[in-house]
Every structure is written in C-alpha cells, then in structure tokens.
Amino acid sequence: MLSLVILGLCLATAFSQNVGQLSLEYHWKSLDFEWSSDNVRQEFIKNGSFIPENNIASGIKVYNRSVYITVPRLKKGVASTLNVITEKDGKPVLRPFPSWKMQTIGDCSAIQFSQSMEIDPLTGWMWIIDTGVGFIADSTETICPPKLIIYDINRRRMVRTHVFPDDVASRSSFLNDIVLHKVDGKAVLAYISDSGLAHIVTYDFRSDKSFSFADSSMLAESPPSSVVHIGNRSFAETIPVNGITMSPDFRYVYYSALAGTSLYRIPTTVLSNPKGLFKQSVRKVGVKKSQSDGMAFGQKCMYYGGLSSSGVYQWDFMKDQNMAAGPDDITLTSQVLIAHDDQRMKWVDTLAFDNEGSLWFTADNAGSFLVETMNISRTNLFVWKLYLGENGYLATK
C-alpha cells in the first residue's frame, strides 16, 4: 500500500493544493524498445543482444516534457543504454537516443555505457557520461575509454566529445552521476562522480580540459553505515562516492558514498581549479537518514532517495541555512520523508526536476537486480512524479 508523507515541504511560493501530489507515470515488468520490426527484435534476442530481464531503468532527466532514461549495461543484453520514453500500442517503450547507431557496442564514437546524464534546460544541451564499458559482468568487455558527450537536443547535433585522459578517468572508472556549474548564466563546468576510482572528475568546457580529485571522504564507510536494509534483506555495499548534486547558487557541490550515510560538500571554487586544495576545503555537513543513490537540488531544498526507507527524503536547505551561524556553517538537520512505498519504491535510483515544479525519480530495485535474475512475471521498474512547486538548480539563469 502506498504511504505518502508530506511534512513541512519547503516552497518558494504559497502552498498549493497540488503540492505533494504523487503519480506513478510509468511501470514495467521488463523494458522493451521501439524496434524497426519484430524480426529485428527477435534477432537481437536470438543473438543475445537483448535479454529483457537484464535491463533496468536507472538515470532520468526531463526536458520539454520528454522523459530520458538510461539503461546501464550492468549485464549482457542491453540493446540501448540511452533512450527517450515513447508509446507503442498504448504501452511505454524506449526509443534509442539519439539513434540506434549511437548505441553500438564496440564503436567508441557511440555510447557504450551511460549511467546518467544532465540537461541544461536553457540550451537543451544534454551532457552524457559514458563509462566506456560494455557490461560490468565481464571486465574483458571494457573496450572504449571513458568520455563525455555533449549533444544538442533541439538542433539534433553533436556539440563535443571529450575523451578523458587515463590519469583523469581510466578503464577502471565508473562514471556515475553528473552535475553542471553555470558561470555568468552558462553551463561551462561539469562535475562527475567516479564510483570506480572513488574520484570526482571535473570537466571545463571552455578549455576542453579535465582533471580529478580524490579524498578519503569519497570512500565507502564501514558497517553498519554501509549496510542497506530493504525489507527483510540486507545488502553490504562497498560503492564509494555516488550521488552528487549542486547547490542552486552554484557555490557548493554535495556528495555521498552509496556505502555510507555521511554528506559532504566542497566549494566549486576548489573543484573548478586543477590546483584546488580539496582536503583543506571539504566539509562534512551531517548524516543522512539513510544510504542513498541519487540526489537532486531544487531551488530551496535538496532531495535524496532513502534506500533503507524505500522512499524520498527532503532536506530543508533554506531552513537550516537560516538557522546557521553563518552562510558557510550549514548543518544537515531538517530531513523529512516525503514519499514512501515499501513495494514500488525499492531502491530509488535517480532524481530529476522538470520545469513545471515536479520531481521525477526512478525505482529499480538495483540491489536485488545485481545479485539475482529479474522475475519479469511481476512489475519491477517504476518512474514516479511528485509535484513540489519548485524547479531544479539549473533553472537559475
């Protein structure tokens, strides 16, 4: 049964009767794609290029009412790793984005493995991280170097591809999540969590250069902080820095290990400088109510998926900032569970805002997916929308 909690939602405007409205937008027993013909689909199944139970919906972004979904190649048989949701015969299916050709395994100019992406709502540029691995189940399938692709959705053209040098992101990297940093109103910097090497990678569009930082704050924590409890199951996690998010004033990047509950922040003045003094500048903000995967900032609050709570938490950032001794002394205090469903919000993965005041998020039961075969006789994958009355951090001009 769905249990929805709305307690002290932070809003930039007056309370609306629609605030807190939660809707299940999409759900699947297993994902399927928009194929050119059924014969092509059957050929993909026959040769192992498409194994339905090996596909999960992970990353999500919304732009101009189109919903973009990543299907990370965590196992064999993922036909397309970056997609936009469309409908066929009244059912949601995934259309490879920007094309089928761009999903070709072994073509290093195509997208090999996308866990997440970010879209600048003002330009329509999609910043796609590609970890370069065919699928994690077999390390020998690491065939292309990690890269960042910037694609203009509106003009349907490639803007730039940046292949990361080995000393920044190697074939041991797992590029996980990405946020953008606007300078003078333009998104010119990207910060990416590398869950393989426990790094944060910086890319500067202006110079087309990249560099990375490592720090003990990015490492996995020890039990019990690293153990995720979902129902009667426990998952001992070892994944380091994972979720990453940007404050709406672009002054700080917040991050957390998946295997842990501590939340840290680092000034963007440090992250944007290859000689930045990271260790002297990082600060622990507090402890989250649960381990989390993705995180997202709105204009007033930060949101994160609570893995052990099967739901979404809200941190009233503005409230805690107003209570702090100074603007740089904020402590993670005001945390509220705002959405919860024991069955349909298992492992909230990625969160994203649209430009109409709603927070979207995927729930894919990734903990179980990685250790067992998906049972496609039941519904496994969910996309939710929660109206909050605020837009995402990139809505700032």
Pairwise pLDDT comparison (6 vs 232), residue with the higher score: 232
What is the structure's pLDDT at 248? Answer: 95
What is the structure's pLDDT at 141? Answer: 61
Mean pLDDT, all residues of the chain: 93
Provide long-range contacts, Cβ within 8 A and 24+ apart, for 43-47: 44/79
In tens, the pLDDT along 331-376 reads 999 999 999 999 999 999 999 999 999 999 999 999 999 999 999 9
Question: Can you tell me the mean pLDDT for 313-326?
Answer: 89
| pLDDT above 60: residue 2 | no
| pLDDT above 90: residue 241 | yes
What is the structure's pLDDT at 329? Answer: 86
What is the structure's pLDDT at 12? Answer: 40
Q: Mark 295-320 as b/e (b = at least 16 C-beta within 10 Å).
A: bbbbbbbbbbbbbbbbbbbbbbbbbb
What is the structure's pLDDT at 325? Answer: 82
CB 301 within 8 A of CB 390: yes
In tens, the pLDDT along 3-20 reads 444 444 554 443 455 778
What is the structure's pLDDT at 358? Answer: 97
Tokens representing residue 11 in the block: 């809003």
Question: Can you tell me the mean pLDDT for 290-309?
Answer: 97
Tokens representing residue 353 in the block: 């805002």
| pLDDT above 70: residue 82 | yes
CB 97 within 8 A of CB 84: yes
* % of the chain at pLDDT higher than 90: 87
| pLDDT above 90: residue 200 | yes
Alpha helices (runs of H) in the chain, residue ranges in sequence order: 38-46, 268-271, 278-281, 317-323, 366-369
Q: Give the span between the Cα atoms of 316 and 9, in whole angstroms.
A: 8
Domains (range + CATH), the chain: 22-395 (2.120.10.30)
| pLDDT above 90: residue 327 | no
Q: Give the span between the Cα atoms of 293 and 312, in whole angstroms.
A: 11
Question: 1 pLDDT band (50/70/90 cuts)?
Answer: very low
What is the structure's pLDDT at 133? Answer: 80
What is the structure's pLDDT at 322? Answer: 87
Measuring CA to CA, which residue among 10, 1, 2, 5 is closest to residue 389?
10
What is the structure's pLDDT at 324? Answer: 85
Question: Can you tell me the mean pLDDT for 86-105?
Answer: 96
| pLDDT above 60: residue 66 | yes
In tens, the pLDDT along 242-260 reads 999 999 999 999 999 999 9
| pLDDT above 80: residue 97 | yes
* % of the chain at pLDDT higher than 70: 93
- Which residues, 6+ apart, have CB-to-CB distance to 335 below 8 Å? 288, 289, 313, 314, 315, 316
